[in-house]
Amino acid sequence: MTHPEHSPASSAVALAPDTRRLPPRAARAWTEKMRARALGNGKYVVVGQSESAYEVDLQSGWCTCPDHQYRGERCKHLRRVALEITGGRLPAPDHRAVTCLACGRRSFVHTEEPAVCEACQFTPGTTVRDRETDDLLVVVEQTGDRADCVLIDDGTVADYPTNVGYPHGDPVVMCVYPFSGPSDEPFEQRRQYAFPHSRLEREWRPQSARQARLPNATSSQ
């Protein structure tokens, strides 16, 4: 059954190649049953149909299998890892798989970035609103540290009285108040405050909508 009105033009293109037209190693990379997993530091392990496990280093094009070791070929394991990365099923060599501390979804992040997915990351300079006080803040740093592990004053960020209702595993976001202190004081010199991620929301609303909401802000807390 066809539904031409629901079929974008791209659906007519095969997503996998016609493997009969590929060189044998490339075809096997597509069709053979292989399990691949990231080991970190740009290395992967591939377990093939024979249950033999081989280690792949994608960046240096290295595999421990005989096909690569003795024949110097770009073997099916190297090719399979590249296909899995392109398909979004394995992290690229400079990425790692994480469970996002904010939303709990599995995601790939750069090895130097915190375990917070792209959708949840507050990048430096983002304007956010404190859900408790309705104050505007500017993000200085999205950390990968849990609120119940970061010490402030007498306890952790999670213990702070106005933070207890937020998940204790929330990643901490460092912010400054843009409108306090001398107006010419650079953000990086201002006092920073630690917030649990869920307490902050991106500031999307236009100025007029914010002012209209302010009188009711206290009654909703």
Q: Is 131 in the site for Zn ion (CB under 5 A)?
A: no
Q: Is 164 in the site for Zn ion (CB under 5 A)?
A: no
DSSP label at residue 32: S
- Least spacing, CB of residue 115 vs Zn ion, in Å: 9
Taking the least distance from each CB to Zn ion, the nearer of 113 and 159 is: 113
Stretch that binds Zn ion, among 18-26, 113-121, 136-144, 181-189 (CB under 5 A): 113-121
Which residues are bridge partners to 174 per DSSP?
141, 194
E strand spans, the chain: 35-40, 43-47, 53-57, 62-63, 95-99, 106-110, 127-130, 136-146, 151-152, 155-156, 171-176, 193-196, 200-202
Stretch that binds Zn ion, among 2-10, 118-126, 132-140, 180-188 (CB under 5 A): 118-126
Map the footprint of Zn ion across residues 88-107, applying CB under 5 A. 100, 102-103
Q: What's the rounded Cα separation, in Å, for the pair 8 and 64?
A: 43
Stretch that binds Zn ion, among 17-25, 63-71, 162-170, 173-181 (CB under 5 A): 63-71
Stretch that binds Zn ion, among 112-120, 124-132, 146-154, 185-193 (CB under 5 A): 112-120
Stretch that binds Zn ion, among 77-85, 123-131, 146-154, 168-176 (CB under 5 A): 77-85
Which strands, in side-by-side order, build the sheet including 35-40? 35-40, 43-47, 53-57, 62-63
**Token pair recorded at residue 3:** 């539904």
Quote the radius of gyration of the chain (alpha carbons, Å): 25
Taking residues 38 to 57 in sequence order and writing x for each that binds Zn ion by CB under 5 A, - otherwise, the string is ----------------x---
Q: Where are the alpha helices (DSSP H) in 3-111?
A: 24-31, 66-71, 76-86
- Least spacing, CB of residue 105 vs Zn ion, in Å: 5
Q: Is 85 in the site for Zn ion (CB under 5 A)?
A: no
* Three-state secondary structure call for residue 169: coil
Taking the least distance from each CB to Zn ion, the nearer of 30 and 177 is: 30
- Least spacing, CB of residue 71 vs Zn ion, in Å: 10
Q: Is 65 in the site for Zn ion (CB under 5 A)?
A: yes
Short-list 39, 47, 40, 51, CA closest to 77: 47
Q: Is 120 in the site for Zn ion (CB under 5 A)?
A: yes
* Interacting residue ranges for Zn ion, rule: CB under 5 A: 54, 63, 65, 68, 75, 77, 100, 102-103, 117, 120
